[in-house]
Amino acid sequence: MAEPPVGVLAEEGGLRVGVVAPDATAIEFCLFDGEREVARHRFRDRTGAVWHGHVPGVRPGACYGFRAYGPWAPGEGHRFNPAKLLVDPWATALDRGFRLHPALFDTGERPDETDSAPFVPKAIIAAPAPPPMPLPSLPGGPRVIYEAHVRGFTMRHPAIPEAIRGTFAGLAHPAAIAYLQALGVTHVELLPVAAGVDERHLPPLGLTNYWNYNPVAWLVPCPRLAPGGMAEVRAAVAALRAAGIGTILDVVFNHSGEGDAEGPTLSLRGLGNAAFYRTRGAGYANDAGTGNTLALERPWPMRLVMDALRHWAVQAGVAGFRLDLAATLGRREDGFDPQAPLLNAMRQDPVLRELLIIAEPWDIGMGGYQLGRFPAGWGEWNDRFRDTTRRFWRGDGGLLGEFATCLAGSADIFGADRPVTDSVNFITAHDGFTLADLVAFTERRNWANGEENRDGTGENHSWNHGVEGPTEDAGVLARRTGDVRALLGLLLAARGTPMLSMGDEAGRSQGGNNNAYAQDNPLSWLDWEGIDWDLVEFTAALVQARLAHPALHDGRPLTGEAVDETGIPDVEWRRAEGGPPDWDGGRSLAVAFYAAGDRVLVAINGDAEAVALVPPVPRHGFAWTVLADSAGAAGDLAPRSLRLLAESPA
C-alpha cells in the first residue's frame, strides 16, 4: 500500500490528515479556538512513516498543531515530548509569526513538561482550491538580477502607503515597480520569505533576524512580509511579471530555525529529529554553521523540500529559486555529491526543471566549496568574480590575467560545456559591505549586532581612499563615487549574469556594517529620500547597454576565434593604449567582444594616471561610439575609470 498524502486537507465531512513521524509511538492532532485547545484526536493508523486519519466535523479556517509521543533519548537522536506543540511541516498558512519563549525550549536530561501551545503559531486549514491560472510568460533573453529585501526595499518609500510598506503588497505598488522598470532589471531576487524564527541570542539584544535565513515552515509566507498570505505574494509576483520582471526566491533548505541542541522545539525536532536531521549523538552535524543540518539525501526531508519548491512555483508563480548554501543540498554522510538525490530530483521534476535555479555553491562543512560543480544550466554565485574584481580595482598587483578571465565569463571554472551565463557575477550582495561602503571602509563596523564586532567577514578586499568611513573631503568623495561607477560598469560589462545588490545603484550605505542580518531598521532599509539619482541614471544606462548588445550578454564560451564571415574573433585583448596587454603588471585593458554582428569595447584604466585610448580599427562603415564612461570623460581614459563603446553605423 502506498504511503498516504501528508498535510491537512479539507474533505467531505471533515479533514484528511497525514503527518510524517517515523519513530513516534503516537500522534495527536490538536484543534484550537484562538489560544484554547478544544480537542485532541489520536491517530491509530500508520502506513510507513506517515500517521494518518480522518477528523470529522472540522472545517477550513480552523487552527491546529500536533503532539508527538515517543522516546526521549537525545543521545540516540530522539526528542519526543507531547508537551511541545508542533507546527505541521507541510502547513501552508499560520495564524501568526514565530516568537521565542522559554516554554519552547526542551534541553534538559528529562523532557520539559511546560505546555508550549500558547506560544506556538497554529497552522490554518485551507479550503480546497483549484490550481491558480498560469501567469503570463516572461520575455526571453539576457538577465540582469536585482537582489532585494521585500521589507527593506519598501519601508522608507514615501509614495507607498505606510500600511503596506515592508510587505509584498508594498513591493507590488506601482511606485516600487516603476523604479525597477526604470532601472531596467529583468529579475528581482528576494531574500527568504518563508516563515522563520529568530536565533535565541537576538531577542535579549532587542534585535530580530531581518534577513530571515532561519526557516521553520517552508510552505508558509512570513506573516510579517505577507499578512495576506500566499494570495498577497502571488499578486506581487503577478504585478512584477506584468511589468516584464521575474521573481526569484532565495530559499533555505540546508537547516531549520530549530538550531542546535539548545534550540527551540517547534516542528521537525519533535516529530522526527533523527529522521529529518543529520544527528551526531545528542547534537547535530553543522555544515550550514547554524546549529543543524537537514539530511536531504533521505526520502522525507527531500520530499519536504520538493513539495515546498513546487508549492511556491505553482501557488506564487515565481520564475526561479536561489538555493542558500547549496553545497549542503548535495551532501551525503560522506560529503558533497553533484549527483545527490535532491539535486537530481530538481533537475527532472516537470515543474522545477523549467525554472531558473541559482546555487550558492558552498557551505562550511568539509569539502564545502563547490563552485563550478552544479548542473549545466543552473546559475552559481561566483565569489571568485567578486574577490578578483575587488582586489584588482583596489590596486593589488599581478591580477590582470585573472581579472580578464572573470571578465570573459570564468571559463576556468565553468568550462566549455556550460554557458557563461551560469556564472552569476556580483561584486556585493546582502552579505557583506554595500558598494558605497566597499570603497569607504577597510574594517567592518558591526557593533550594533551585539557580538562585539566579531561577526561578519574580516576579509573584505576593500579600501577607503585614505579616510576611514564618512568624510566631507570633496576629493575623497569624488574618488569614491568614481570607483562605485567603475565597479558597476565592470559588473554590467562582464560576460555572465550580473546581479546588483539593492541600493548599490543608489549609493546606499550601512555605515560599514558588513553583516546587517539583525538590523531591521533604517540602517538596512533603502533610503529613498537620500538616493543618488545621477548614479541610478548611470546604472540604468549600463543595464540598457547590456541588454541591447549581444556582444555583452551572449552566453557562449569565448574562443578567440572568428565566429562568422567577417573574420572578427569573439574576443580580442589589448592594452587601452593599443598593443598586447601587459599580463604581468598592467593596469589598463581593452577587450572587444563580438557576437551576432555586434561589437563592443570595454576599456579599463585601473591606474592613477590617465591613459590614451586607442580602440581597434572599426569595421568598414562603422565607427566607435561611447555608451557610457564612469568618469564622464572624453578623450583619454581617466584614472580609475571604465568606458564602454560600441560599433555603430557611421
The C-alpha atoms of residue 145 and residue 318 are separated, in whole angstroms, by: 14
pLDDT in tens, 139-184: 899 999 999 999 999 999 999 999 999 999 999 999 999 999 999 9
Please provide the average confidence, as pLDDT, over all residues in the chain: 96
Phi, psi of 193 (to 5 degrees): -125, 0
Query: Are residues 331 and 296 in contact, defined by beta-carbon separation less than 8 angstroms?
Result: yes
Q: Residue 3: its pLDDT value, please?
A: 74
Name 567's Cβ contacts closer than 8 Å, sequence gap at least 6: none
Let me know: does 226 contact 232? Beta carbons within 8 Å.
Answer: yes
Catalytic residue among 106, 198, 360, 422, which? 360
Q: Going by C-beta distance under 8 Å and a sequence separation of 6 or more, which residues neighbour residue 118?
A: 35, 103
Strand-pair category, 279-280 with 283-284: antiparallel
Count other C-beta atoms under 10 Å from residue 541's C-beta: 16
Share of the chain above pLDDT 70, in %: 100
Separate counts of helices (H) and strands (E) for the chain: 15, 29
Active site (annotated) includes residue 334: no
**What is the per-residue pLDDT across 44-82, written as a single tens digit (0 to 9) for each?**
899 999 999 999 999 999 999 999 999 999 999 999 999
CA gap 292, 278 in Å, rounded: 7
- What is the SS3 string spanning 387-436? HHHHHHHHCCCCCHHHHHHHHCCCHHHHCCCCCHHHEEECCCCCCCCCHH
> What is the spatial distance between Cα 508 and Cα 606, in angstroms, rounded to a whole number?
24
Tens-digit pLDDT profile for residues 260-290: 999 999 999 999 999 999 999 999 999 999 9
| Helix pair angle (474-493, 383-394), 10° resolution | 140
- Residue 498 in contact with residue 426, Cβ under 8 Å? yes
pLDDT of residue 1: 55
Distance (Å, whole) CA 187 – CA 241: 9
Q: Per the structure block, which three cell numbers stand in for 22?
A: 517515523
Contacts by residues 529-536 (CB-CB < 8 Å, ≥ 24 positions apart): 529/156, 529/158, 531/506, 531/507, 532/506, 532/507, 533/506, 535/481, 535/484, 535/485, 535/488, 535/505, 535/506, 535/507, 536/182, 536/183, 536/505, 536/506
Residue tagged active-site, from 189, 324, 422, 647: 324
pLDDT in tens, 541-594: 999 999 999 999 999 999 999 999 999 999 999 999 999 999 998 999 999 999
| 324 assigned to active site | yes
| Distance from C-alpha of 215 to C-alpha of 226, rounded to nearest angstrom | 15
By the 10 Å C-beta count (0-12 exposed, 13-18 middle, 19+ buried), 259 is classed as buried
Write the DSSP assignment of 114-166 as a string of letters.
---GGGS--EEPPPP-PPPPPPPPPP-S---EEEE-HHHHHTT-TTS-GGGTT
pLDDT, one tens digit per residue, over 418-451 is: 999 999 999 999 999 999 999 999 999 999 999 9
List, for residues 307-350, the tens digit of each pLDDT value: 999 999 999 999 999 999 999 999 999 999 999 999 999 999 99
SS3 589: strand
In 10 A of CB 384, how many CB atoms?
18
